[in-house]
Amino acid sequence: MNKLFLLLISAILLSSSNFETKVSRENRAAMENKKIKCRWVCDKKLYKEQKIADAISFYKNSKDYKFTKKPF
């Protein structure tokens, strides 16, 4: 049981270091740049809105689905 436990712990420790990457000066500067963060958030928001618009147009043009207006 101890051998299995030690083998498991050593495998976890060795595998975690493979995925760690060192951050370069350029990447660190990009992470701290507010303009890049704002652009990323705006692009993400626009992408979501575009996906929603594409889905709505798909369902509007589909023969199987009908949109009906219900009074409130």
* 52-62 pLDDT, tens digit each: 999 888 888 88
Our count of domains for the chain comes to 1
Distance CA 60, CA 70 (A): 16
The tens digit of pLDDT for each residue in 5-64 reads 888 888 877 766 555 667 788 888 888 888 888 888 888 999 999 999 998 888 888 878
Query: Which residue segment(s) compose the domain that 50 sits in?
Result: 34-60
Distance CA 32, CA 49 (A): 26
In a domain, 49, yes or no: yes
Distance CA 19, CA 58 (A): 40
In a domain, 2, yes or no: no
Whether this prediction's pTM lies above 0.75 is answered by no
Q: Could you identify the residue written with the tokens 């270091």?
A: 17
Instruction: Report how far apart the first and last C-alpha atoms of the chain are (Å, whole number).
Output: 67
In a domain, 56, yes or no: yes
59's CB contacts (< 8 A; 6+ apart) are 65, 67
In a domain, 52, yes or no: yes
